[in-house]
A = this chain, B = another copy of it.
C-alpha cells in the first residue's frame, strides 16, 4: 500500500458503486438504537430516507411518525399484514433478537429487502428459516455487522491481505459495556433469554470481535471452547455476565472476551509472523479510533475520527440494493455466527470443545 494513499484514501468508500434514487426505509423496532443511532444516520445518508416506523404500540409509532413527518407509524401486526407497504422499499429490523424472524418473513413476502440487526435471531433454527425465506425471492437479506463498512476495519483487513503482518497467527478481541448503567432496568430484553437468545454478553457483544475477526481474516470459526460466569444482580437469567472464548479460525486461535457488566471498552488485535495490528478502542460507535501498526521495531499509530458506523452501513445497503447488486454480510454469513454462538454456549455448558 502506498503510504500517501493510506492517508488520503483511509476513509474512502472503496465499496461504493454509485446509486441513483432513494431507498425508502421502514424502521421496525423503535428502541433507542433505532431512534438515536439508526434514524439520524439514515437522515444523513444521501440515498436513504425513513418513511415508515413500526413499533409495539400504535401511539409510539404514530408519535415518532408525526414528529419526523413520515408517511406512517404502524404496529408490528399492521406491518406484518402489509399496511403502508407502498410507502417503503426496504426494512431495517431492530427488534429484540428472537423476534427478528416474523418481521423478516413478512418483508420477504412483501418483496422488501432487509437489513437485520445482529445476531440474526435467538437460535439457529429460526435463523435458518430466515435464510430460507430469502431463497428464490427477488429481495436480499443483509445482517447489520457495522464493522464491515468501518474505514479502520477495512484498512486493517487490507493490511492483513497485503501481508503487512506476514501470516496471521493469533487474535485478541474484547467488547464490554455496563448494560445496567446504560439502561437501568433489570427487565430489559437483553437480559431475557426468551428475547435475546441463549445469553447476553456473547450474543450482543462477543459477536463483534467474533464476526470482525472473520471479516478481517476472511476465515470462519471451526471450533470453540468457552467459560462463562453470571453472579451479579440482574444477570440471574443469563449464563454470561462475563464470557471468555478460545475460537479456532482454521489455524488462527482467537482469545475473545465479552461482558455486559464491565467497563465499556473493546479492542481487536491481530498478531502475525511479521507484525501486529491493533484497533482500539473498537466496536463502539462513539469514540475516535487508533489503528496501531507494528512491523520490525517500528510502530505507527493512526488516529482516525469517530466513525459514523450506522451512516456507512445504510449507505452501503442502499448502494447495493439500488444497484440490485449482492449484499454482504448476507444471511448465510450471519447464520455461521449463529452456529458459532450456539457452539460457544454449548462449550461453556459442557466444558468441552465444540465443533461448528
Q: Please give the residue numbers on chain A whose beta carbons come within 8 Å of chain B beta carbons, in ascending order.
A: 165-166, 169-170, 172, 174, 176, 178, 225, 227, 229, 242, 244, 246, 248, 251, 253, 255-257, 259, 261-263, 265, 267, 269, 271-276, 287, 294-295, 297, 351-353
Contacts and interface: CB of A to CB of B under 8 A. Distances in A.
Given A225-B246, A265-B271, 11 more contacts: A166-B263, A169-B242, A169-B259, A170-B257, A172-B267, A178-B273, A229-B253, A246-B255, A261-B273, A263-B276, A287-B297
B169 A172 contact: no
A166 to B, nearest CB: 7
B257 A262 contact: no
A294 B176 CA distance: 14
A267 B265 contact: no
A265 B253 contact: no
Nearest to A228: B253
What is the total number of copies of this protein in its complex? 2
8 contacts: A170-B242, A172-B255, A229-B251, A242-B253, A244-B255, A261-B273, A265-B276, A265-B294
A304 B251 CA distance: 36
Contacts of A229: 251, 253
A34 B267 CA distance: 37
A140 to B, nearest CB: 36
Contacts of A170: 174, 176, 242, 244, 257, 259, 262
A39 to B, nearest CB: 24
Main secondary structure of the interface of A (DSSP, over half): strand
B273 A263 contact: yes
Contacts of A297: 287
3 closest cross-chain pairs (CB), A and B: A255-B255, A244-B253, A172-B172
Nearest to A167: B262
Nearest to A171: B257
A270 to B, nearest CB: 10
| Residue among A174, A176, A242, A255 with max Cβ neighbours from chain B (10 Å) | A255
A169 B260 CA distance: 12
A272 B227 CA distance: 18
A351 B174 CA distance: 24
A269 B267 contact: yes
A257 B172 contact: yes
A271 B261 CA distance: 11
Contacts of A257: 170, 172, 253, 255
Given A170-B242, A246-B225, A253-B257, A165 B263 contact: yes
A203 B262 CA distance: 31
A271 B262 contact: yes
B271 A253 contact: no
A241 to B, nearest CB: 9
Contacts of A295: 263
Contacts of A251: 229
A261 B169 CA distance: 9
A164 to B, nearest CB: 11
Contacts of A176: 170, 271
Given A244-B246, A276-B265, A297-B287, A255 B256 contact: yes
